[in-house]
Structure 1
Amino acid sequence: MRILYSRPLTAPPRTYLSSETRQIEDEASLSMMFARRFPFLGRRSDLCAGLWLALRLWRSRRSFDAVVTGRYGEVFAVLQNVLPFGRRPHLLLDVEWLAGHTDPWRARLNRWLHRRIIQSATKTQVFCRVEAQNYARHFGVEESRFAWIPYCTDAAPVLTERPAGDYLFTSGSHQRDYITLFEAVRDLPIELRVAAPPATFAGMNIPANVHIAGNLPASEYWRMLAEARFIVLSLRPDVMRRPGVITYVGALRMGKCVVVNDPGGASSYIDHEETGFLVDPASSGQLREQICALLQHPEIVERVAANAARMARERFTAARYFHDVERILETSLGKASRVAGP
C-alpha cells in the first residue's frame, strides 16, 4: 500500500507504516515555519499552512493509494470534497475541534465547513470514544465517520523507577477545572504541585498547600511528574474535544497512578480501580475522597501504577498506533475496490 503521509502534531516521530510510505511534510515544522516567516498573518498562518499542504498533497496524490494527514490536512479534505476527481482515501488524524463560536452566523458556517471535512475524509480520528458522539451530534454527521485511535507515546524522558515523592502533581491550563481541584486538596497534609502558567490562576483562592511551579522545561516537567506520589487531573466536563489525554497517557506510560475526574473521556484509557481512578466531574467532595483514600493506602497506589505501566506498554505504543492506521486504510481500500468492481 502506497501512502502519502503528512506527520500530525501528536504522531510519534518514528513511522511504522508501509515501506512505500512517503512523508511529504511534518506539520509541527510546517506550523513553526509559517509562524516564523509570516508573523503578520497571526492566527491565519495555520490556515495558510493548510492551503500550502493541500496544494502539495493534491499534486502528489495520484501516485499513492491513500493519504494520511493531521489537522493541517483539513483544507485538503475540503478540496477533495469540492473537486472529487482523482480522489484518494484520506485518514484525518489529530483534529481539535471546539464549539467556541458565539456568533450564530459564524457557528453555522463552522458546522457547514466541518461537515464537508468529515464527509470528505474516509475516517477522522478521535482520541476518546465519546468525542465521536460529541462531534456527530454537534456537526450533524454519522458517528461511523469517526475512528478511535488512542494517543500513544514511546517517549521515556526520565526513568520510571523513582521513589514516590511527598507531593501530588497536576499540570496544564487548557480546559482544566482548578477550582474543583483546589477545593478537593485544601488543607490536606500533602502538597499539590501545579505545572501551569501563573496567569491561569488569576482571581482564584489558592490553598496554602498548593505550589504553582509555572511553565517548566520538558526535562524538569517529566522529572516532577515521575517523582510525585500520584497524579491528579481535574478537567472541564462541558467540551467536545476531551482535554488532558497527553498528560495522563504520558503518566500511565511512566508507571504512575492517575486520578481523573473525566470518566467520559478518560475511560477510553483507564480501567477504574485497575489502571487508574475515575471520579465524577466538578465534584470536589468525590475527588477529595478518592485522594484521601489513596494517601491512606499506598499499596493500592503501587499496585495500580504497576498495572498502568503494563497496560500502557501494550496499548499505547507507536507500533500499535500505526497498526490501527493501516488497518483502517486497508478496510477503506477494500471497500473502495468492491464498490468500483473488477
Structure 2
Amino acid sequence: MTAKARFLTILVVVKVINVFEGHVTHGAEGHGWNWIGNNADSRIQWLSICSGLRWLGPFPRLARYSTAWRAVSEAKKADLIVTHGERMAVWVGLVKRFLRVNTPHLAWSFTAPQLETLSPLKLKLFKAGLRDVDRFIMFSQLEAKQYPRLFNHSAGRYQMVPWCSEKPVFDETAPCIVEGDYIAAMGGEGRDYKTLFDAIKDLPDLKLVVVTSPERVKGLDVPANVTVFTTIPYVDAMNIAFHSELMVTPLISDKVAAGHGTLIAQFLLEKASIVTEAETMDGYCENGINSLTVPVGDSFAMREAILKLRHQPELREKLTQNALKFARTKCSESSTVDYFHGYLREKGLLPTEPADAADGI
C-alpha cells in the first residue's frame, strides 16, 4: 500500500447509529451504551440512541416510536444503523420507509420468542418494517431457520452469532443481599418458574432465590422456601447470582429463544448451571460437560439434577470450569467485534487494513 493510500485509510470514518431500548442495558441508565464501541476499530464513529427517556418512562411504546424517528433522522448522515431487539428493528424499518432513508440496517439480537403468536395484523406490520433490513443476527440456529420462513425472506439475510458478553461488572466485595446458602434462577422471557417451584417445593432445606419480572410469577403458588425479587437493580441481581451455590435456567419450551444472556453470565460467574433442553440452546449447552440439561416441564428431572449438583462437588467443579472456558473462548466480546468488522468490510464501509496497521506510516 502506498503512503497516500495508507493516509486515506487513516482518514476513513464510518458513522454508525446504535439504537436500543433501556432494558437492553438493564435499565434506563444505559443512555451512553456504545455496545462494542469501546473495543471496535477507532475509525468507527458511534452515536447511541436509547429509548430510556425519563419523561417517557410511563409510555414505553411512545418512547420506542420517538426513538426510532430520531435514529432514522440521524441515519440520513450515517453509514449504518444498528438496532437491538425485534421491536426496535420493526419501528426503525417502518420510519426508514416513511422518510425514504436508504442507510443500511443491521438488526442485531433479533430474538423474538412470541413471533408465532402474532395476530395477522401485527405480522403484516412486522413484515413491512423488516422488509429492507440488510441482515438479521440472532443467537440460535433454530431462529436462523424459522424466521426466514415466517417473514418470507431469503435465508442468507439471517445469521446465527453466539451471544457474546464480558463478565458482569459489579462490586464482588459487597455484602451478600441474601443470607445463607441458596440456589438461584433469574430472567423473564420464556421462563418456566412453575416447573422449578414444583421441583423444590418438597425440599424444605433447599432455598431458592428468583429474580424476574412480576408477570413471570403472576398466578403461581410460591413455595415457602422460595424468595422472589422483582424489578431490582442490575447490580443487586448480579450480587444474588454471584453468591449462589448453583443456578437454574428453566425454559417454557424446547423452541423458545430465550435465556442465552443469562446463561453466559452464569458461565462467566463460574456457576454450575442446570438448563432446560431446548433446540435454541444447541451449541451452548452440553449435558454433563458444561451444564446439566433436563426435559421441558419435568419437575422430577429438575429436582434430581439440583440434588445431583449439590451433592457432587467434583461434577459441579467440572461443569463450572468447562462452562467458563466455553464462555471465554466462544462468547467473548472480541468475537462480536471481529464479526462486526467483517460485516463492515463486506459492505465496503471499512478498509481491510486495521487502523493500527495504517497508523504505522
Task: State TM-score, norm by structure 2.
Answer: 0.76
Contact 2:137 2:161 in 1 (8 A): yes
For residue 42 of structure 2, the aligned residue among 19, 23, 37 is: 19
For residue 74 of structure 2, the aligned residue among 56, 59, 69 is: 56
Contact 1:198 1:212 in 2 (8 A): no
Corresponding residue SS for 2:77: helix
CA RMSD of aligned residues (A): 3.2
Q: How does 1:277-288 map to 2 (within 5 A)?
A: 277-288=292-303
Q: After TM superposition, what 4+ stretches of structure 1 lie above 6 angstroms from structure 2?
A: none
Structure 1 distance, partners of 2:324, 2:116, is 39
1:157 aligns with: 170
Task: State TM-score, norm by structure 1.
Answer: 0.80
2:324 aligns with: 309
Structure 1 distance, partners of 2:160, 2:215, is 34
Contact 2:249 2:276 in 1 (8 A): yes
Deviation at 1:288, TM superposition (A): 1.9
Structure 2 distance, partners of 1:39, 1:298, is 45
Determine if the alignment matches structure 1 residue 144 to structure 2 residue 160.
no
Contact 1:158 1:226 in 2 (8 A): no
Contact 2:209 2:226 in 1 (8 A): yes
Determine if the alignment matches structure 1 residue 32 to structure 2 residue 52.
yes
Determine if the alignment matches structure 1 residue 251 to structure 2 residue 266.
yes
Contact 1:74 1:92 in 2 (8 A): no
Q: 1:322–1:277: structure 2 CA closer, same or farther, 3 Å change rule?
A: same
Unaligned runs of 5+ in 1: 335-342
Q: 1:331–1:197: structure 2 CA closer, same or farther, 3 Å change rule?
A: closer
Amino acid at match of 1:46: R
Determine if the alignment matches structure 1 residue 331 to structure 2 residue 346.
yes
For residue 126 of structure 2, the aligned residue among 114, 132, 150 is: 114
Aligned length: 318
Contact 1:93 1:124 in 2 (8 A): yes
Unaligned runs of 5+ in 2: 1-11, 26-33, 350-361
Deviation at 1:193, TM superposition (A): 1.3
For residue 337 of structure 2, the aligned residue among 302, 314, 322 is: 322
Q: 1:318–1:206: structure 2 CA closer, same or farther, 3 Å change rule?
A: same
Deviation at 1:300, TM superposition (A): 0.5
Contact 1:68 1:91 in 2 (8 A): yes
Q: How does 1:1-342 map to 2 (within 5 A)?
A: 2-8=14-20, 9=24, 12=35, 14-27=37-50, 31-33=51-53, 36-38=54-56, 43-57=61-75, 59-61=76-78, 64=79, 66-71=80-85, 72-78=88-94, 87-99=102-114, 107-154=119-166, 155-159=168-172, 166-188=181-203, 189-196=205-212, 200-237=216-253, 242-333=257-348
Corresponding residue SS for 1:32: coil
Corresponding residue SS for 2:112: coil
Percent identity, please: 21
Structure 2 distance, partners of 1:40, 1:26, is 18
Q: Which has the higher helix share?
A: 1
Contact 2:255 2:278 in 1 (8 A): no
Q: 1:310–1:139: structure 2 CA closer, same or farther, 3 Å change rule?
A: same
Bigger mean CA offset, 300-309 vs 261-270: 261-270
Deviation at 1:138, TM superposition (A): 2.7
Structure 2 distance, partners of 1:305, 1:94, is 26
Deviation at 1:167, TM superposition (A): 1.6
Structure 2 distance, partners of 1:128, 1:282, is 21
